[in-house]
């Protein structure tokens, strides 16, 4: 499983389960998508959905939600992407996680056709959020892949039905030009540094040395990643920053200890974390900032594996962060 997909899964998907037959969603082999009804677009994408009633957009997360426990959220995997390859990656990830005891077997799993596209759907409990369940839909072809998560409370069949209906209404209009900057709630300056913009994956924006390499797929690329987030209060910012340490460790990163402190960036409260660690035996240095204002927040993550002397440049870039 490539880095960007792993991060998304670790942020959202932790499952537990019972027998599959008790949670059969009876999805047919072919779904006909009604494009007339599916008119709500996920910002920053060319993907459309027929959203259930009373759901509203949380732009920074590319999510339509009823509340924090009930939502449909998308990740558009960067091109070039191939559905069959990503299907195998996701299958392998979950099979290995179940075999290692990190996850239990899903409730339900189905491969089918969603309109013109191949699709794979998993359904199970949210492993880290008692009382919640998730459906995870992967769909695409040999040019693009979308991963979409539906989260909802257990024991509420009507909500489960509306989430499933939303997922099965998805379609992609390839004639729509995708503008990733639509999701960027920040600006920053990389002048007089070696880092240049590389590209984006949903609301995650990547910078690499000279804008080259592949920081989205290569875990060991020297890089900066900035992720747009909703508005948070100071204590939420601290909590989010500290929780990222748990997520890195879940990925397999070794972090013996880390330093943290409150600071400010361009007049906004910020929470800084730094550490020296290692991943798969390779030493790394990480500089992380979570900051925000009344409109939204961002996670700034600078990681070095090769040219450790670039940490000063990463810090100088972080100091230029301006929130819109």
- Give the pLDDT confidence score for residue 9 in this predicted structure: 42
pLDDT, tens only, 186-219:
999 999 999 999 988 888 999 999 999 988 878 8
How far apart CA 285 and CA 322 sit, in angstroms, is: 24
Mean of the per-residue pLDDT values for the chain?
88
Query: Is the alpha carbon torsion for 77, 83, 86, 90 positive or negative?
Result: positive
Tell me what the mean pLDDT of segment 47-59 comes to.
93
- Give the pLDDT confidence score for residue 82 in this predicted structure: 86
- Give the pLDDT confidence score for residue 15 in this predicted structure: 33
- Does 168 score more than 80 pLDDT? yes
- Does 169 score more than 50 pLDDT? yes
pLDDT, tens only, 294-324:
999 999 999 999 999 999 999 999 999 999 9
Q: Give the CA dihedral 35, 36, 40, 41, nearest 10 degrees.
A: 40
Q: Which of 283, 240, 282 is nearest to 260 (CA)?
A: 240
Q: Give the list of residues 6+ apart from residue 51 with CB closer than 8 angstroms, or none.
A: 40, 64, 72, 166
CATH superfamily of 184-323: Mog1/PsbP, alpha/beta/alpha sandwich (3.40.1000.10)
- Give the pLDDT confidence score for residue 38 in this predicted structure: 87
Tell me what the mean pLDDT of segment 10-15 comes to.
39
pLDDT, tens only, 82-139:
899 888 888 887 788 788 877 778 889 999 999 999 999 999 888 777 889 999 999 9
Confidence band, pLDDT 50/70/90 cuts, at residue 6: very low
Percent of the chain topping pLDDT 70? 93
Burial label, 30 (beta-carbon count in 10 A; 0-12, 13-18, 19+): exposed
pLDDT, tens only, 33-45:
999 988 999 999 9
How far apart CA 145 and CA 82 sit, in angstroms, is: 6
pTM of the model: 0.79
Q: Which of 6, 84, 323 is nearest to 186 (CA)?
A: 323
The backbone torsions φ and ψ at residue 162, rounded to the nearest 5 degrees and listed phi first, read: -70, -35
251's enclosing H/E stretch is: helix 234-251
- Does 248 score more than 50 pLDDT? yes
Is CATH 3.20.20.70 the classification given to domain 3-172?
no
Confidence band, pLDDT 50/70/90 cuts, at residue 80: low
Q: Which residue has the higher pLDDT, 15 or 316?
A: 316
Q: Buried (b) or exposed (e) across 64-74, using 16+ Cβ within 10 A?
A: bbbeeebbbbb
pLDDT, tens only, 55-77:
999 998 899 999 989 999 998 87
Which residues belong to CATH 3.40.1000.10 in the chain?
3-172, 184-323
């Amino acid at each position: 499983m490539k880095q960007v997909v792993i991060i998304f899964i670790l942020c959202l998907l932790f499952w537990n389960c019972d027998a599959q037959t008790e949670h059969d969603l009876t999805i047919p082999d072919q779904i006909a998508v009604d494009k007339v009804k599916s008119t709500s677009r996920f910002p920053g994408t060319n993907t459309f959905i027929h959203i259930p009633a009373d759901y509203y957009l949380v732009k920074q997360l590319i999510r339509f939600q009823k509340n924090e426990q009930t939502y449909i959220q998308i990740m558009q995997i960067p091109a070039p992407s191939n559905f069959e390859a990503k299907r195998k990656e996701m299958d392998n990830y979950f099979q290995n996680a179940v075999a290692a005891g990190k996850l239990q077997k899903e409730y339900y799993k189905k491969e089918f056709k969603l309109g013109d596209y191949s699709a794979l759907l998993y359904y199970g409990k949210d492993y880290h959020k008692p009382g919640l369940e998730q459906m995870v839909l992967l769909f695409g072809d040999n040019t693009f892949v979308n991963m979409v998560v539906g989260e909802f409370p257990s024991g509420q069949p009507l909500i489960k039905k509306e989430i499933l209906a939303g997922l099965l209404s998805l379609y992609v209009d390839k004639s729509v030009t995708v503008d990733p900057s639509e999701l960027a709630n920040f600006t920053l300056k990389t002048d007089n540094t070696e880092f240049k913009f590389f590209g984006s994956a949903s609301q995650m924006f990547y910078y690499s040395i000279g804008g080259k390499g592949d920081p989205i797929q290569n875990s060991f690329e020297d890089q900066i990643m900035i992720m747009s987030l909703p508005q948070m209060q100071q204590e939420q910012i601290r909590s989010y920053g500290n929780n990222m340490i748990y997520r890195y460790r879940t990925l397999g990163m070794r972090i013996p200890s880390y330093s943290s402190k409150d600071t400010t960036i361009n007049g906004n409260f910020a929470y800084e974390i730094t550490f020296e660690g290692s991943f798969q035996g390779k030493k790394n240095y990480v500089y992380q900032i979570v900051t925000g204002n009344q409109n939204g927040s961002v996670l700034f993550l600078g990681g070095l594996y090769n040219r450790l002397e670039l940490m000063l440049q990463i810090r100088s870039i972080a100091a230029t962060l301006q929130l819109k």
